[in-house]
């Protein structure tokens, strides 16, 4: 583990990563509020902005494994510093660029790098290395709760900023906030030198090859695709969906997204806590099956503010509760040396799902005039993912001793 020259404490790591995740995920979850004002200001259809959001999610996933490799090798602090700067530049880009292709590509790359370097994949390794094995699942749950608190806290702030100072100035303010708060927190994540343990030493390529050849890892990859599809489609398109269905008060969508964040604080925390007591694969399956049930009930129930809030609360419990369980399985099966990289690989699948969820939402709306087909796909994928997670083997891999 760490040498004695500087000993990180779990409390400090959870505090610093909590602030970073609160901002990274809180700002990102509010991007749906900009869909209509940006589209109207630039004369775009929803498909253009949806494609930009899809590109951000895809780039987030594509850069994720590399950000994880860098965090495992060079330390989390450096990666978070790069991410804060990239995230800020991405928000400025979204505020100033009006050409649709440049908007999609530039915001996709910059915000994608920013999220890859400041979200779960980049910080999961340091949490796994600092937390003792018996507290690891709980610690991942705490980090998930922090990101959920960010969603709960930032939703009203972002909507109010757009109303008070305009959508462009809102981007500038959030960019400044990210830099001013994330950079000081990064210095609490300065990792000391790592002592080389006795026994087999895996290279990055060997660790990736081992994981990709493991059936349970591939099941996690497939399941996480579904998670990304569902949460990003709902997070980006729910405000527009509600308006289309006659709920014109934007406060309903704001409160709904805030409730998702609020209830996910409890969902993520208790998922991590329960993951230390029960098989994580069964908990993951339960979450995915439950999502399909909740979405189905939402579509069948009469649409009114009350049913929207009930849907948001239920989805909130299930929202990011997959994260501590997925990361807990990765750490338990493969160890923590290459934790950030392996989490980044799994998360890439999540982001491919995110890309398709947010882009299909915009594309099918443009071609069909409604979101019905995307809701149906989300339900079917939830059932599929629930089945895929059941046969996962959570036993640690036993590696041959090096000669």
HEC per residue, 32-101: HHHHHHHHHHHCCCHHHHHHHHHHHHHHHHHHHHHHHHHHHHHCHHHHHHHHHHHHHHHHHHHHHCCCHH
Q: So where are the chain's domains? A: 10-194+207-389
pLDDT of residue 351: 81
pLDDT of residue 311: 95
123 touches 17 (CB < 8 A):
yes
- pLDDT for 197 equals 44
Burial class (CB in 10 A: 0-12, 13-18, 19+), 401: exposed
Residue 132 has a pLDDT of 85
Our measurement of the distance from residue 332's CA atom to the centroid of its chain's CA atoms, rounded to an integer in Å, reads: 21
DSSP category for residue 2 = B
DSSP calls for 98-144 = --HHHHHHHHHHHHHHHHHHHSHHHHHHHHHHHS-GGGHHHHHHHHH
Compute the distance between CA of residue 121 and CA of residue 247 in angstroms, rounded to an integer. Answer: 36
Question: pTM of the entire structure?
Answer: 0.75
Question: Strand, helix or coil at 230?
Answer: helix
Measured on CA atoms in the order 54, 59, 62, 63, is the torsion positive or negative? negative
Assigned CATH for 10-194+207-389: 1.20.1250.20
Instruction: Estimate the crossing angle of helix 215-244 against helix 250-275, to 10 degrees.
Output: 160
Averages of pLDDT over runs of 10 residues in the chain (403 residues) are: 52 88 86 86 84 84 86 88 96 93 92 90 82 82 76 81 93 95 91 53 82 90 91 86 85 85 86 86 94 96 94 91 87 82 85 85 84 93 94 82 45
- Token readout for 123 is 């910080």
> Which residues, 6+ apart, have CB-to-CB distance to 158 below 8 Å?
27, 30, 33, 170, 174
Please give the pLDDT value at position 112.
92
Bridge partners of 194, per DSSP, are 2
């Amino acid at each position: 583990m760490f040498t004695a020259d500087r000993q990180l404490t779990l409390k400090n790591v959870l505090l610093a990563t909590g602030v970073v995740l609160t901002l990274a995920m809180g700002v990102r979850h509010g991007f749906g509020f900009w869909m209509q004002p940006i589209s109207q200001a630039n004369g775009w259809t929803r498909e253009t902005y949806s494609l930009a959001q899809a590109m951000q999610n895809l780039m987030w996933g594509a850069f994720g494994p590399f950000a994880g490799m860098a965090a495992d090798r060079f330390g989390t602090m450096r990666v978070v510093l790069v991410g804060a700067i990239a995230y800020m530049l991405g928000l400025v880009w979204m505020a100033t660029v009006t050409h649709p292709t440049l908007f999609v590509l530039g915001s996709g790359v910059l915000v994608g790098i920013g999220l890859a370097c400041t979200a779960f994949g980049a910080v999961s390794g340091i949490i796994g290395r600092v937390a003792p094995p018996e507290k690891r699942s709980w610690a991942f749950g705490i980090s998930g709760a922090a990101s959920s608190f960010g969603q709960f806290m930032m939703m009203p702030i972002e909507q109010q900023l757009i109303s008070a100072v305009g959508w462009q100035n809102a981007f500038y303010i959030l960019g400044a906030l990210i830099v001013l708060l994330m950079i000081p927190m990064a210095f609490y994540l300065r990792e000391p030198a790592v002592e080389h343990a006795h026994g087999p030493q895996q290279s990055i390529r060997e660790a990736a090859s081992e994981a990709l050849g493991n059936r349970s890892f591939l099941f996690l990859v497939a399941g996480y695709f579904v998670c990304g599809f569902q949460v990003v489609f709902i997070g980006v398109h729910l405000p527009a969906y509600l308006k289309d269905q006659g709920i014109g008060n934007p406060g309903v969508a704001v409160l709904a997204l805030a409730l998702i964040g609020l209830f996910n604080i409890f969902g993520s925390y208790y998922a991590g806590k329960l993951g230390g007591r029960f098989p994580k694969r069964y908990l993951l399956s339960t979450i995915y099956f439950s999502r399909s049930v909740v979405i189905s009930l939402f579509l069948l129930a009469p649409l009114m503010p009350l049913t929207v809030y009930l849907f948001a609360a239920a989805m909130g419990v299930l929202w990011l509760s997959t994260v501590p369980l997925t990361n807990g399985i990765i750490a338990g099966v493969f160890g923590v040396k290459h934790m950030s990289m392996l989490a980044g690989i799994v998360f890439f699948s999540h982001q491919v799902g995110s890309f398709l969820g947010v882009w299909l939402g915009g594309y099918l709306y443009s071609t069909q005039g409604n979101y019905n087909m995307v809701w149906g796909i989300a339900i079917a994928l939830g059932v599929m993912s629930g089945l895929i997670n059941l046969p996962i083997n959570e036993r640690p891999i036993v590696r041959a001793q090096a000669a």
